[in-house]
Amino acid sequence: MMDMPAAGEEFILVLDQGSSSSRALAFDLKGTVRFKARRKLEAVYPSPGRAEYDAEEIFKTQKESLSEALSKLPPGSKVLALAVAAQRSTVVLWDKRTGAPLCPALSWQDGRALELLSEISLSNRIIHDVTGLYKTPYYSASKIAWCLKNYPGVKKAAEEKNLLVAPVAGFLLWKFSKGAVFALDPGQAQRTLLFNIRRLGWDKRLLEAFGVPPGSLPEVRPSFGDYGSFDADGFTLPVRAMMGDQQAAMLGLGVEGENAAALNYGTGAFLLVNTGTRPVKIRGLLNSVGWPPYPPKAEAGQAPPFFRSGQRAGQGKKSLCYFTESTVNSAGTALEWLKVKFGLFEDIGDVDGMCRKSKNRLFCLPAIGGIGSPYWDFSAFTTFTGFSAASDKNDLVRGVLEGVAFMVADSLDLIKRRGFKIEELKVSGGLSKINWLLQFQADITGVKVLRLEEAEATAAGAALAAARSIGLELSWKVRTSSEEFLPRLAEEERKKLLKSWRAFVKAARKTSLVLRRLGALPHG
């Protein structure tokens, strides 16, 4: 017989808002997920190159999952702190008087603002130096500028100083607090392409270049800090942490030491390597903002130390950590595409077996939503090569999966050349259950791949952040799987495959560009 939960328990609550769902999870102080709830969320693809959400649906699904999770808590329970973790580059624009969204929430996958970027005079070098990112439609700045030009309601709200703009987490917090709190953490502020990661504030040059009103953006607060509180279903919920989903996953996976590396396979694939208290520039890769090593404490009436005006990255004892980050835009998305559009398999659990049945390697450039690190090319088509009469659906699935691993390998190779000693990759996320992928990732990178048991890395990291914010050092540690994937490919063969892959990528990108110019393949 199952034991009844004890009354009067204490919990850390996490809102985990992702690309495909809105979830709420309740952690006890031993690090166990005791209760959770989920609501499905779907992006809409109105035309090629466009991906968007109904912002009200994002809030509705998150509110419903929160209510369900709270309803499961034992009588007398107390929520010590709540953390918000969310997808980073989906942006919401709304009216501060009514709270109503003024247009669809443009997904991080949305590329409609690609042409607008050509009008931005600031070079990629300058933008990367300031933001750690590149001038692509993946990030929010060009999306905001596009909405200001194409949605009259957005333009009018801006003129009347009633426009509010933020990534999803900022919108959710504003809605839950009924407009009392309009704030964002630095990791998500960065993904707007408007945030100076060295001075840790909104950048005037970028705001002017993209035409974004400064007053429309949220206050930036430390990841571990006071984000106010709100009431829900009889509970008062103190919000004490906010993080981007990938940063939260890194914290949850224990990637806190310099040179530590982790790879999260989700809708996209995200490789992050901790570079310490200063951003390290590597061409083609991103610099991402992390978190402070300890909860920031400010003197009365002052901002936390690393958020004072003029503060530079790396100054002071409580500096942020930074990551070099690689983004593969299409990982889970590419497999879902094969499943839904072509019916090649029924469940993600089928993929490993299909790869093992494959007898013929195909090269695939997975470019749904463009290709990210280290190429940053939104004009490339998803491209296959190597077909023969013997090719079958198993080869197609394997080709897409290996394409993701190749893209990760390209970035990791650049990181290792910069002098970082990467001995192992900790991996998590939905695709990490596919043994074939992890073995090939080990083979093509030449490093050990370690699959972690922690299926809730993002939520666990957010919970740890909230706990640290209130001075509570939680006792749990992420458990590691006994399964390691060691490189089995001879070094000569690995180099030959990488050389062949890169020749294919170069040719595929060139062909895509030519076909777009000729108008032979005008779709997104």
| φ and ψ at residue 317, rounded to 5 degrees | -80, -15
Cα within 13 Å of Cα(366), Cβ side: 29
C-alpha distances in Å from residue 474, one per residue of 9, 69, 460 = 15, 21, 11
What structural domains does the chain harbor? 10-242 (3.30.420.40), 246-327+449-485 (no CATH), 330-419+490-518 (3.30.420.40)
Other C-beta atoms lying within 10 Å of the C-beta of residue 419: 8
Q: Give the rounded distance of the alpha carbon of 198 from its chain centre.
A: 21
> Tell me, what's the pLDDT at 304?
42
Q: Which residues contact 493 (CB under 8 A, 6 or more apart)?
A: none
Nearest CA to 18 out of 288, 270, 228 is that of 270
Distance CA 372, CA 329 (A): 6
Angle at 375 between CA 457 and CA 88, to 5 degrees: 35
What order of strands is seen across the sheet that includes strand 52-53?
52-53, 105-106, 91-95, 163-167
Structure tokens at 368: 């749904």
* DSSP H or E segment with residue 84: strand 78-86
At residue 7, what are phi and psi to the nearest 5 degrees? -80, 160
Measuring CA to CA, how many Å separate 37 from each of 63, 70, 469? 10, 9, 24
Angle of CA points 116, 137, 523, to nearest 5°:
80
Helix (H) or strand (E) holding 206: helix 204-210
Question: Which residues touch 300 (CB under 8 Å, ≥6 apart)?
Answer: none
List pLDDT tens digits, range 122-177.
999 999 999 999 998 889 999 999 999 999 999 999 999 999 999 999 999 999 99
Kindly provide the residue ranges of all beta strands, DSSP E only, lying in 217-335, ordered along the sequence.
Answer: 219-220, 229-232, 235-244, 261-265, 269-276, 286-289, 322-328
Question: What are the φ/ψ torsions at residue 352 (nearest 5 degrees)?
Answer: -60, -45
Residue 505: count of CB within 10 angstroms of its CB: 22
Answer for the pair 380, 371: CB distance below 8 angstroms, yes or no.
yes
Task: Give the count of beta carbons closer than 10 Å to the beta carbon of residue 471.
Answer: 9
Per-10-residue mean pLDDT of the chain, 524 residues long, equals 60 94 94 93 88 96 98 96 96 97 94 89 92 92 97 97 98 98 96 94 96 96 94 96 91 82 89 89 92 53 39 48 91 93 94 97 92 91 96 97 97 93 88 95 96 79 92 65 88 97 98 91 65
Residue 507, H or E segment = helix 491-518
What are the CA-CA distances from residue 35 to residues 68, 164, 176, 429 (Å)? 9, 33, 21, 20
CB-CB contact of 457 with 264 (8 Å) = yes
CA-CA distances (angstroms) from residue 231 to 14, 66, 67? 15, 11, 11
pTM: 0.84
Distance CA 470, CA 5 (A): 25
Tokens of 120: 């931005």
Rounded distance, CA 96 to CA 493, Å?
58
- CA torsion sign for 248, 251, 253, 259 is positive
Peptide bond into 238 cis (omega under 30): no
* Residue-level pLDDT at 309: 35
